[in-house]
């Protein structure tokens, strides 16, 4: 009976009266909003609840045990001895707009790179050329899947690898192989097991995890310095993570080379304890990398300012054709004592664009510190995407972990870099052959997947609209989209818009 006294009286009354097929009595209060002010004392309601309880028990005896017990349980959750008015409260949705909030969502701007790909697909010209996206193509203009990757997939299929969830931090063997790939198998930091590493969603995911981690432990609003120019997504990733994005000079438009003096001056002027984002190799979009001596000076400036170095390594193997040599800056900074952070991507150098394979690592002072950092990185990952995809990571793990496939991969990676270097030579020769009086030496001096031409936005739009050659409007050209069949057309079109 104590439990029955908590049930809202009108609900039980309605049930019992309905059973006897008698009309409901009029409500006790004409104005429902005044129901509480006219209600009897609680003890009177308890007595009435006793009567309702007896009537409820009678209903059970008549065969209504299960439905009434269900209703009583539902009512008990909402009634606690005090009378409740028999009025329904309107449902309110937080935010004010309610179900119509989508009506006012504005159209977002197209991505400056991926949006061009959509425009390229819509273009009906049969001779159109896409030089906008950073994805490798063979001389036939088609994507190339590395034979070592195919072999790794074949082995995984024959082995019957299952599709279970990966751990939050990804496959340990993949992370181990990634650390050895970037830092070197003989790196003291690797051998001493003091590098925290987690599998991530390619380079973008690695950058976002790292930025979020730094925002949490260095403080939201911590300044992060990125090169001018840089990959377009760097700015958004860092801002979304709560960091304060600043710029340092990097590219010299006149020489189309490195603005080394400007870079050093800006890094020295950065507040103590800032984050410095550096491209490990094959700088995107400029294709300009510091020399070994310049890297040493950059390291010294970062140490003097007590800065945290964050390397973005998306093109290891594409700069010189030697994946080991392309890790020079990373390994130098570790030797110099930096507790750096590294974002790795396997999209370009393994051709695993759609597999979203990457690794984030942080060099620590001890194994104990590494374990603590790893535990917090997992806490960043878990609410983001829970655990990473497994197929692409399994391929990288298979290739780098095999004494047969690993050297085969290094040769295949070199062949991609060599083809791009050949296209640089050929494009420069064809531009000179057009009669252009401009200097095109920078094309062969720059390295990696891109050539930063210095063409203006108007020139780029003319290339797109008149010649159906698609490129980003900052003048960046993807050398991977150039081949022996289209290079003459590209050179002639560039000569036309530059009026050299």
**Quick check: is 312 catalytic?**
yes
- Rounded to whole angstroms, the Cα distance separating 242 from 208 reads 10
Strand ranges across the sheet with 244-249: 195-200, 358-363, 341-345, 308-313, 275-279, 223-228, 244-249
Decide: helix, strand or coil at residue 452.
Answer: strand
As given in the structure block, the two tokens for residue 360 are: 């984030």
The residue from 312, 326, 428, 440 that is catalytic is: 312
- Rounded to whole angstroms, the Cα distance separating 470 from 454 reads 15
User: 28 Cβ partners below 8 Å, 6+ apart?
Assistant: 35, 38
- Residue 181: phi, psi to the nearest 5? -65, -45
The residue from 231, 259, 266, 440 that is catalytic is: 231
Angle at 380 between CA 235 and CA 397, to 5 degrees: 90
- Rounded to whole angstroms, the Cα distance separating 327 from 181 reads 9
Could you tell me if 400 and 174 are in contact, meaning their C-beta atoms sit under 8 angstroms apart? no
Q: How many residues does the chain have?
A: 500
The residue from 144, 266, 289, 348 that is catalytic is: 348
CA 147 vs CA 153, 323, 399, 412, 439: distances in Å: 10, 17, 11, 8, 39
- Rounded to whole angstroms, the Cα distance separating 210 from 380 reads 9
- Rounded to whole angstroms, the Cα distance separating 198 from 176 reads 9
Decide: helix, strand or coil at residue 228.
Answer: strand
Whether the ω angle into residue 229 lies within 30 degrees of 0, i.e. cis, is yes
- Rounded to whole angstroms, the Cα distance separating 390 from 174 reads 10
- Rounded to whole angstroms, the Cα distance separating 7 from 322 reads 77
Could you tell me if 181 and 400 are in contact, meaning their C-beta atoms sit under 8 angstroms apart? yes
Could you tell me if 66 and 105 are in contact, meaning their C-beta atoms sit under 8 angstroms apart? no
As given in the structure block, the two tokens for residue 280 are: 């490990």
Q: Which stretches does DSSP call E strand in 107-182?
A: 129-130
Angle at 350 between CA 346 and CA 354, to 5 degrees: 65
- Rounded to whole angstroms, the Cα distance separating 295 from 288 reads 13
As given in the structure block, the two tokens for residue 132 are: 């906008």
Q: At what angle do helices 172-183 and 391-400 cross, to 10 degrees?
A: 50
As given in the structure block, the two tokens for residue 258 are: 């490195």
Decide: helix, strand or coil at residue 92.
Answer: coil
**Quick check: is 231 catalytic?**
yes
Q: Which stretches does DSSP call E strand in 303-426?
A: 308-313, 341-345, 358-363
Catalytic positions, please? 231, 312, 348
């Amino acid at each position: 009976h104590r439990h029955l006294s908590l049930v809202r009286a009108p609900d039980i009354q309605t049930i019992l009266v309905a059973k006897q097929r008698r009309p409901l009595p009029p409500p006790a209060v004409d104005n429902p909003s005044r129901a509480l002010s006219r209600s009897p004392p609680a003890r009177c309601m308890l007595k009435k609840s006793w009567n309702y309880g007896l009537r409820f028990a009678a209903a059970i005896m008549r065969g209504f045990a299960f439905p009434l017990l269900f209703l009583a349980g539902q009512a008990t959750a909402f009634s606690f001895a005090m009378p409740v008015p028999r009025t329904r409260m309107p449902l309110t949705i937080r935010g004010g707009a309610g179900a119509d909030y989508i009506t006012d969502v504005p159209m977002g701007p197209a991505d400056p790179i991926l949006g061009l790909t959509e425009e390229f697909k819509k273009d009906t010209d049969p001779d159109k050329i896409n030089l906008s996206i950073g994805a490798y193509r063979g001389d036939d203009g088609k994507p190339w899947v590395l034979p070592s990757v195919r072999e790794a997939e074949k082995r995984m299929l024959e082995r019957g690898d299952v599709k279970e969830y990966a751990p939050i931090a990804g496959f340990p063997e993949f992370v181990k192989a990634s650390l050895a790939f970037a830092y070197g198998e003989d790196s003291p930091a690797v051998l001493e097991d003091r590098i925290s590493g987690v599998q991530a969603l390619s380079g973008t995911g690695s950058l976002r995890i790292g930025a979020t981690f730094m925002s949490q432990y260095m403080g939201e609003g911590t300044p992060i310095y990125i090169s001018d120019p840089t990959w377009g997504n760097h700015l958004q990733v860092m801002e979304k993570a709560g960091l304060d994005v600043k710029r340092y000079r990097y590219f010299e438009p006149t020489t189309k080379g490195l603005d080394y003096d400007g870079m050093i001056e800006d890094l020295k002027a950065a507040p103590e304890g800032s984050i410095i984002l550096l491209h490990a190799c094959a700088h995107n979009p400029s294709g300009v990398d510091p020399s070994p001596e310049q890297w040493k000076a950059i390291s010294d400036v970062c140490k003097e300012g007590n800065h945290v170095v964050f390397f973005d390594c998306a093109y290891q193997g594409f700069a010189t054709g030697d994946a080991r040599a392309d890790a020079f800056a990373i390994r130098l900074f570790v030797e110099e004592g930096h507790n750096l952070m590294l974002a790795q991507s396997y999209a370009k150098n393994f051709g695993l664009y759609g597999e979203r394979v990457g690794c984030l690592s942080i060099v620590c002072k001890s194994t104990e510190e590494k374990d603590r950092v790893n535990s917090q990185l997992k806490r960043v990952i878990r609410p983001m995407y829970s655990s990473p995809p497994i197929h692409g990571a399994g391929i990288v793990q298979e290739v780098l972990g095999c004494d047969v496939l690993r050297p085969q991969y290094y040769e295949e990676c070199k062949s991609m870099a060599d083809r791009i270097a050949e296209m640089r030579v050929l494009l420069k020769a064809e531009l000179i052959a057009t009669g252009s009086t401009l200097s095109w030496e920078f094309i062969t001096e720059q390295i990696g997947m891109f050539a930063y031409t210095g063409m203006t936005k108007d020139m780029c739009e003319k290339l797109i609209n008149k010649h159906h050659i698609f490129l980003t409007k900052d003048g960046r050209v993807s050398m991977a989209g150039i081949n022996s069949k289209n290079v003459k057309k590209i050179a002639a079109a560039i000569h036309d818009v530059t009026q050299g």
